[in-house]
């Protein structure tokens, strides 16, 4: 990072934390503030040398505000955990009291592509996860605190007392459920169908896979089934002769199909096409974040040093209309010069900017975004 870029980002982040950015909103102060550990990453001219400063604690909101105003961090984190001694230098000395339940949805784990495309894709996962938590796992919408991460995804915080004492194993069971881990045809196809949950999703996915096979050309059908381990051409051909009847049974009484060798093979965890569909029906959340009972998570209302966007708290009713590249942007339209190292196209604040290698005059909001992401430096080429 060039000195001019370093100074520009520090100055703009400082303006935000000192209340000089109109309409930017305040940072969030978590419950039980004195029991939380805090961590910070600061801007550095040498990005490889920048590390986290952690094991800090604050006793009042004023202390938090003063620290942000005077230190100007690039990234702000607080612990999902509650501690007796949050500022202790060793984790074993902190005295763990419990932790909020956290879900992290990051588009980088699911799809690669333009930033706006990734942000749109991860919102689909967010809605699936909210639906599972509130429709199947007993959480109320008011239990969920949803934040745009400021980067490539969303966080869901569940600070309720009912989950605070859960250990990593209990939290992993929850992640396994929403991620569809450990499903089997024997369990999902047996018994009466439920109105929601994994049994319904699994059966819908299973019948869709049979429909997909039925729509293939005959040679493609044989090739697909023979590619599944343990299925011969003879077995595959016999299955295909009865496929219409099998599809009818699958729609009405799928338990009768569990003795069919081909059915068990198609719905097997080692059959990639079917498992890809199961994965698509799951909510793809980051398992290590949820199972870590001592996790540091981004502070809502702070700025993300990798994008300049605000870590934005959201009501569920606002999610559909929320556009991070408009609603999480806090900087304005003042024109500044940046030097791009290659041609690129970037949407922000409702406009798509086609930038060329070399000097470009862009709004300050875009300059912050580009510099934070390492796509440009301040000043002319």
Rounded CA separation 102/300 (Å): 13
The answer on 253 and 114 residing in a single domain is no
Q: Please report the pLDDT score of residue 23 as a whole number.
A: 64
- 329 belongs to a structural domain: no
The answer on 224 and 301 residing in a single domain is no
Rounded CA separation 154/159 (Å): 16
The answer on 309 and 249 residing in a single domain is no
The answer on 41 and 122 residing in a single domain is yes
CB 70 within 8 A of CB 40: no
Q: Which of 106, 108, 124, 167 is catalytic?
A: 106
The answer on 64 and 26 residing in a single domain is yes
The answer on 261 and 357 residing in a single domain is no
- 361 belongs to a structural domain: yes
The answer on 101 and 56 residing in a single domain is yes
- 311 belongs to a structural domain: yes
DSSP 241-269: HTHHHHHHHHHH-GGGGTT-HHHHHHTST
CATH number of 127's domain: 3.90.920.10
The answer on 343 and 241 residing in a single domain is no
- 330 belongs to a structural domain: no
- 271 belongs to a structural domain: yes
Q: Which of 46, 108, 286, 292 is catalytic?
A: 286
Q: Please report the pLDDT score of residue 269 as a whole number.
A: 72
The yes-or-no answer on residue 343 being catalytic is no
Domain interval for residue 96:
3-179+286-324
- 243 belongs to a structural domain: yes
The answer on 313 and 222 residing in a single domain is no
The answer on 262 and 143 residing in a single domain is no
The answer on 173 and 242 residing in a single domain is no
Q: Please report the pLDDT score of residue 283 as a whole number.
A: 92
Q: Which of 93, 104, 108, 323 is catalytic?
A: 104
The yes-or-no answer on residue 323 being catalytic is no
Map residue 125 onto helix, strand or coil.
Answer: helix
Q: How many domains does the chain have?
A: 3
- 108 belongs to a structural domain: yes
- 373 belongs to a structural domain: yes
Output the tens digit of pLDDT for each of the chain's 381 residues. 899 999 999 999 999 999 998 766 789 999 999 999 999 999 987 766 668 999 999 999 999 999 999 999 999 999 999 999 999 999 999 999 999 999 999 988 777 788 989 999 999 999 999 999 999 999 999 999 999 999 999 999 999 999 999 999 999 999 999 999 888 888 898 887 777 789 999 999 999 999 999 999 999 999 999 888 778 888 889 999 999 999 999 888 889 988 888 998 898 877 888 989 998 999 989 999 999 999 999 999 999 999 999 999 999 999 999 999 999 999 999 999 999 989 999 999 999 999 999 999 999 999 999 999 999 999 865
The answer on 111 and 45 residing in a single domain is yes
Torsion, Cα of 59, 65, 66, 69 (10° steps):
150
Q: Please report the pLDDT score of residue 205 as a whole number.
A: 92
The yes-or-no answer on residue 100 being catalytic is no
Q: Please report the pLDDT score of residue 21 as a whole number.
A: 85
Rounded (to 5) percent helix, strand, coil in the chain: 45, 20, 40
């Amino acid at each position: 990072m060039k000195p001019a870029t370093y100074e520009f980002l520090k100055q703009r982040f400082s303006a935000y934390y000192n209340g000089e950015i109109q309409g930017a909103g305040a940072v969030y102060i978590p419950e039980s503030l004195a029991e939380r550990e805090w961590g910070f990453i600061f801007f550095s001219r040498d990005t490889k040398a920048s590390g986290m400063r952690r094991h800090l604690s604050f006793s009042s909101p004023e202390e938090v505000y003063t620290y942000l105003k005077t230190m100007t961090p690039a990234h702000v984190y607080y612990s999902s955990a509650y501690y007796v001694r949050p500022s202790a230098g060793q984790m074993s000395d902190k005295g763990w009291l419990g932790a909020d339940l956290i879900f992290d949805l990051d588009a980088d784990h699911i799809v690669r592509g333009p930033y706006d495309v990734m942000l749109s894709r991860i919102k689909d996962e967010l809605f699936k996860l909210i639906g599972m938590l509130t429709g199947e796992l007993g959480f109320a919408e008011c239990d969920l605190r949803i934040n745009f991460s400021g980067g490539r995804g969303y966080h869901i915080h569940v600070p309720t007392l009912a989950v605070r004492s859960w250990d990593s194993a209990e939290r992993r069971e929850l992640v396994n459920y929403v991620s569809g881990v450990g499903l089997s045809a024997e369990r999902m196809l047996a018994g009466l169908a439920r109105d929601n949950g994994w049994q319904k999703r699994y059966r819908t996915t299973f019948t869709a896979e049979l429909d997909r096979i039925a729509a293939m050309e005959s040679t493609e059908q044989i090739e697909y089934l023979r590619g599944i381990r343990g299925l011969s051409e003879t077995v595959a051909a016999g299955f295909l002769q009865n496929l219409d009847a099998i599809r009818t049974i699958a729609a009405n009484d799928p338990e009768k199909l569990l003795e069919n060798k081909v059915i068990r093979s198609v719905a097997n965890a080692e059959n990639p096409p079917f498992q890809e569909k199961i994965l698509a029906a799951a909510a793809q959340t980051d398992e290590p974040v949820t199972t870590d009972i001592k996790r540091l998570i981004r502070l809502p209302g702070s700025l993300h040093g990798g994008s300049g966007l605000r870590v934005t708290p959201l009501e569920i009713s606002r999610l559909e209309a929320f556009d991070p590249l408009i609603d999480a942007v806090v900087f304005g339209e003042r024109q500044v010069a940046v030097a791009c190292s290659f041609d690129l196209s970037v949407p922000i604040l409702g406009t798509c900017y086609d930038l060329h290698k070399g000097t470009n005059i862009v709004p300050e909001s875009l300059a912050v975004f580009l510099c934070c992401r390492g796509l440009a430096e301040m000043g002319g080429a």
